[in-house]
Structure 1
């Protein structure tokens, strides 16, 4: 059977005597047509739930709820015919805006018009209970169990639920649907939305102006509805006495998959990656193996793509011990830059947290290192965002000064976009 997935492994397989840590970048490419997969009858089924924050704060300023309505209407217009969808009004509870019942409705000219009419009447009132919004999305998704499930969540405020209630709701949604999260304004918490997006294999971003919501919503819908296969996993096999230290997606953005692995057997684990279309993603795999002190070669890991329980393709990761220093000290050109970009994301987040805590010394060191790494990796987008928060005196040395007057939204945009990476050219 021909698979629409391909896997490539890039690494320096040579290790110095006494070392036992193997690094590799795994590039996975999918080439799917949303009209249907090989052997599949008809197009795939898609399900979309749009979760709109309609708490009282969305009415101040009024621009937020006006632009939210326009964005939700634009998202509905972008839904392909046949997509199952629902609109949910989020406040202290989660209420169906359209349709009124507990099931999704198919998108067509009539249902899109009806949904937009209902969206135009939503107003701002009540609190914020993100966990309850997610629970309603999960219940709606369950009515179309064979669909590819995706949600958009928009908020402008902090979650008002108890931490345990919120965590329980997020955990119950893992594996049920993917969720892209957006915050508008400067009163929401990046860590709350990042928690949702990470657990539900989505993205998080700060929308600087309410007027930008419509374009962003359309983009998220287009990305979601161009996916054609769901529940794709990376399967990693390691020999006895070897362990996976971590597996991170490193392009197009950084997210750590290590903690969401499920064990298949004693030697094999699966890492869920969500739904795929025609796209390419890079993953950084680190495996620890028993160190050797002689010239020896071993298979450190095998990495494959799993679709519907079937392994579609598989590549090897090797470990070769050598006394040749030139070989063992080489840094694979595909691995080194991503290591720096992961450090970049961590340094930005730690630097911003130190700034919020009033620890200016740590903030200066961390954000200086961020400027240095952004310049080294060619991540010009992140470098420009850093300039809203610090004055960069010498990027190559990591010398910066904290700006005294920084808009909160500039910090939030930098924080949410810290995980975006620059693709390594091959």
Structure 2
């Protein structure tokens, strides 16, 4: 059994990378905000990006965790029969990765959701005895029935709500499309669960819908991926659980305060994946709004903030935005500020200064475009627009090479034959394995960091 020490509370720092100089009449200000948390992991991972801002710590004890594992048990999990066995083995591996004291439950998902363990509407507390009993119950899992993922999520939410822990996490496995409830029902379940727990979603095999699985992970601030070979589920489930166990603080928000006259154009996460946050804003007082970032362990993420400032004359400067990392107020108290950074605007007649693009901003602008053109290219290919698909995927090859995104470049090479990387000239492959196309689509939002 994997043995994990209780996660430590991380320290946070915020760094802002931008070119603050604008030409006369210039109004758009772009900045990459790097948030780094250190000292929160349990496994002592690789060093993160250096931070110039002095870190702030979160006082108190590390947050307790609660996890619900949702296993697809629909009829299609019996084709081939080894798939269900692989799912049971993977769930057992995830249970073995739970540290002592973590609250957990296992849910079987079909057209209804059923508690597998502990089965009394509550969560079990992980120790040697409960892990063994949970794994014993897994042996009784069989395939049969339909797929209604919204019911799985609602049961997971009810179970997690019984925990006093602040880190609440779900792991969801499906092998098919959500055919036994309406898209509206799934959307309602996601809206009800949003902000209440995070969730990693995995599609096994190739008969599931990429946009459904990635949509679940996106709405619940988790990760999404494909496990094309069911035999690899145990390794993936273990990795997900180890990551969940490393989290030390939950419900962290990026708070953006802007002066009068400044408008926010967009806020998005750009590393380790591209995730649009603009529409998730919740108001937090005069001219301030919070954007959810979920749970944190020992890690670093990048965010792209774009604001529009009022026109000003040469030589003037202003604070364009103040970025704070906060934990929302609890029991009527004040929100806790973990760290801050400033976005500035300075108007100059120096053309070199005002026209140079900050390297971080340029890099992530390209990474966001890369994710977009892959999705557009694959959609065009599916609809029979092969010229459009060739153009978009060719641009993707060009962007992946320019940014050093080697993993995405390899995935693209399984869908197109590359004629010229520099110009983005490609030919669509006549035959593409379904798993290769789905892997490219699922992982299209994964980005690489700026090379230092």
Residue 26 of structure 1 aligns to a residue whose secondary structure is strand
Q: Of 17, 25, 41, which residue of structure 1 is paired with 2:24?
A: 17
Taking the aligned partners of 1:163 and 1:215, their CA distance within structure 2 comes to: 31
Residue equivalent to 2:277: 257
Residue equivalent to 1:288: 308
Q: Of 196, 218, 222, which residue of structure 2 is paired with 1:198?
A: 218
Taking the aligned partners of 1:366 and 1:227, their CA distance within structure 2 comes to: 37
Change (3 A) 1:371 1:105: same
Offset of 1:282 from its aligned partner? 0.8
Offset of 1:80 from its aligned partner? 0.4
Taking the aligned partners of 1:163 and 1:313, their CA distance within structure 2 comes to: 39
Q: Does 1:321 align with 2:314?
A: no
Q: Of 27, 32, 35, which residue of structure 2 is paired with 1:28?
A: 35
Q: Of 11, 14, 24, which residue of structure 2 is paired with 1:4?
A: 11
Residue 187 of structure 1 aligns to a residue whose secondary structure is coil
Taking the aligned partners of 2:98 and 2:276, their CA distance within structure 1 comes to: 30
Taking the aligned partners of 1:193 and 1:101, their CA distance within structure 2 comes to: 28
Taking the aligned partners of 1:232 and 1:49, their CA distance within structure 2 comes to: 21
Taking the aligned partners of 1:211 and 1:256, their CA distance within structure 2 comes to: 33
Residue equivalent to 1:94: 113
Residue equivalent to 1:144: 163
Worse-superposed segment, 186-195 or 124-133: 186-195
Residue 359 of structure 2 aligns to a residue whose secondary structure is coil
Taking the aligned partners of 1:16 and 1:130, their CA distance within structure 2 comes to: 51
Offset of 1:34 from its aligned partner? 6.0
Offset of 1:141 from its aligned partner? 0.5
Taking the aligned partners of 2:116 and 2:154, their CA distance within structure 1 comes to: 15
Q: Does 1:417 align with 2:443?
A: yes
Taking the aligned partners of 1:25 and 1:242, their CA distance within structure 2 comes to: 18
Q: Does 1:214 align with 2:240?
A: no
Contact 2:10 2:40 in 1 (8 A): no
Residue 345 of structure 2 aligns to a residue whose secondary structure is strand
Taking the aligned partners of 2:388 and 2:445, their CA distance within structure 1 comes to: 20
Change (3 A) 1:284 1:39: closer
Query: Which runs of 5 or more residues in structure 1 are unaligned?
Result: none
Q: Of 397, 404, 407, which residue of structure 1 is paired with 2:423?
A: 397
Taking the aligned partners of 1:362 and 1:98, their CA distance within structure 2 comes to: 49
Residue 370 of structure 1 aligns to a residue whose secondary structure is helix
Residue 146 of structure 2 aligns to a residue whose secondary structure is coil
Q: How many residues of Structure 1 are paired with residues of Structure 2 in the alignment?
A: 423
Taking the aligned partners of 1:73 and 1:185, their CA distance within structure 2 comes to: 19
Residue equivalent to 1:63: 82
Offset of 1:118 from its aligned partner? 1.0
Residue equivalent to 1:245: 265
Root mean square deviation of aligned Cα = 1.4
Contact 2:17 2:32 in 1 (8 A): yes
Residue equivalent to 1:341: 367
TM-score (norm 1): 0.97
Residue 165 of structure 2 aligns to a residue whose secondary structure is coil
Contact 2:58 2:338 in 1 (8 A): no
Taking the aligned partners of 1:230 and 1:221, their CA distance within structure 2 comes to: 16
Contact 1:34 1:44 in 2 (8 A): no
Residue 335 of structure 1 aligns to a residue whose secondary structure is helix
Taking the aligned partners of 1:53 and 1:332, their CA distance within structure 2 comes to: 46
Runs of 4+ in 1 over 6 A off after TM superposition: none
Offset of 1:38 from its aligned partner? 5.7
Contact 1:32 1:228 in 2 (8 A): no
Change (3 A) 1:269 1:166: same
Taking the aligned partners of 1:3 and 1:303, their CA distance within structure 2 comes to: 19
Contact 1:3 1:312 in 2 (8 A): no
TM-score (norm 2): 0.91
Change (3 A) 1:157 1:250: same
Offset of 1:16 from its aligned partner? 1.4
Q: Of 360, 364, 379, which residue of structure 2 is paired with 1:353?
A: 379
Taking the aligned partners of 2:353 and 2:228, their CA distance within structure 1 comes to: 48
Q: Does 1:107 align with 2:126?
A: yes
Contact 1:226 1:277 in 2 (8 A): yes
Contact 1:50 1:88 in 2 (8 A): yes
Q: Does 1:47 align with 2:54?
A: no
Structure 1 residues 5-57: Cα deviation after superposition (integer angstroms, max 9, x where no partner): 1111000001111221100010111124468x86425x531100000000000
